[in-house]
Amino acid sequence: MAMIDLIRQAKVPPNIMRSAAKGALSVAPAEMLEILVYLTTQPLFRDEAQMTLAGWDEAACAAVVADPKTPAEVLQYFAAPENMRPKLLPGLVGNPALSDEAVEVIAAAASSDTAQILLAVPRVRNSAAILKTLGASPRLQEAESGEIAKLLSTMGEALPGSTPAGPAVEDADEKVAAEYVATHAAEIAAAEGTQFELIGGISGNSDKPEPVTAAATSASSGAAAAVQVAPEEAKRLTSIQKIAKMSVGERVQLALKGNKDERFILIRDGVRLVCCAVLEAPKLSDAEAERFATMKNVSEHVLRGLAGKRKWLKNYNIVRNLAFNPRCPMDVTLQLMKHLTVGDLRHLSINKEVADTIRKMAMKMWKQKSDSRGGGHSTE
């Protein structure tokens, strides 16, 4: 009888169940993933199984989710928004075993980045129903919407003209902004008049806040033009000039409702309310959060904020990036280390950028996990 059947029938002792939740059974990757997905439905092992799945080798996961023989429960797990991993999407969405309805659920909540991945999958490009659902997502950019419209036109179809994509996003942004401002009204009022400080300065080479004024950024822009910097850098300098003229309240609003480039600047704002507001932005993507987790020129409040949200802790890349970030507070790192894979613990134990205490604890945990896994599967 297969191990998954024994586990479902509760014929496996507790110590084996604990090993299973850590992914340490000597079974085929496909069966191990099926076991882990099942354990996410069991309260006693759910959290451990979820973290194990989040850190499971992406190449192994990709092969399983692309296999038509993979059980529906496994496909549905990885198709759920909270468990979705961009690199798995092409195989998952292209798998005929995943229903069209499930693909439409993914498409309906797609961000701009996700839409680009989906539009590269033949199944999506050839389905008017999926394309219409994708085109109705309020988080798409003009480029993705245009491509969807072209694909539909070749089928004699068109996006519904009544799709309230723009207003829906604006309403969501306004609601979140209003709630944040109302909650922190007293703090915002007390901070008004505080000069814009960019942690690390315009160069980003320091971890200390540096006052930035419109005049300073104008000078920087002139110097940049003289050496012919990249257009994106010039664009960033222009954004900094605009932000430097704003009050704290205005910067909070921009952090919540602005674009990706503005969020990248404001995450380094020396005012806690502003940089933390970025983490509440409705449009903030997983990719941005992963990048923020690696940054050494952000406030500790940002790193604590990322570590304090269950939404982000479900993303293993964010957990790993925070643990490896030498600026991350030690108490936060020590908590996050419990969720690292054996391979990452070993790499952290020899990382000279982090504190000696972190390296020693990583070495201890690596040895403990290595010993407990024995000959089991490694996610290194």
- What's the rounded Cα separation, in Å, for the pair 263 and 283? 10
pLDDT tens digits along 6-37: 999 999 999 999 999 999 999 999 999 999 99
- What's the rounded Cα separation, in Å, for the pair 258 and 244? 15
Q: Which of 261, 257, 254, 280 minimizes the C-alpha distance to 196?
A: 254
> 112 pLDDT exceeds 50?
yes
The whole-number average pLDDT for the span 346-362 is 94
pLDDT tens digits along 231-281: 555 566 678 888 989 999 999 999 999 999 999 999 999 999 999 999 999
Query: Which of the pair, 205 or 361, is modelled with greater confidence?
Result: 361
Q: Please state which of the ranges 8-22, 223-237, 296-310, 318-332 shows the lowest mean pLDDT.
A: 223-237
Amino acid residing at 185:
A
| pLDDT value, residue 235 | 60
Count Cβ atoms within 10 A of the Cβ of residue 341 and give its class: 0-12 exposed, 13-18 middle, 19 or more buried. buried
Q: Which band of pLDDT confidence, cut at 50, 70 and 90, is reported for residue 285? A: confident
Residue with tokens 């439409």: 104
Q: Which band of pLDDT confidence, cut at 50, 70 and 90, is reported for residue 208? A: low
> 288 pLDDT exceeds 50?
yes
DSSP string, 59-118: HHHHHHHT-TTS-HHHHHHHHSGGG--GGGHHHHHH-TTS-HHHHHHHHHT--HHHHHHH
> 297 pLDDT exceeds 70?
yes
> 131 pLDDT exceeds 60?
yes
Q: Provide the whole-model pTM.
A: 0.56
- What number of H helices and E strands is found in the chain? 26, 2
| pLDDT value, residue 376 | 43
Token pair recorded at residue 140: 């798409």
| pLDDT value, residue 125 | 94
| pLDDT value, residue 143 | 85
> 165 pLDDT exceeds 50?
no
| pLDDT value, residue 377 | 43
Mean pLDDT: which of 28-37, 160-169, 214-223 is highest? 28-37
Mean pLDDT over the full length of the chain: 85
| pLDDT value, residue 195 | 85
Residue with tokens 């969020």: 263
- What's the rounded Cα separation, in Å, for the pair 262 and 18? 45
Q: Which band of pLDDT confidence, cut at 50, 70 and 90, is reported for residue 203? A: low
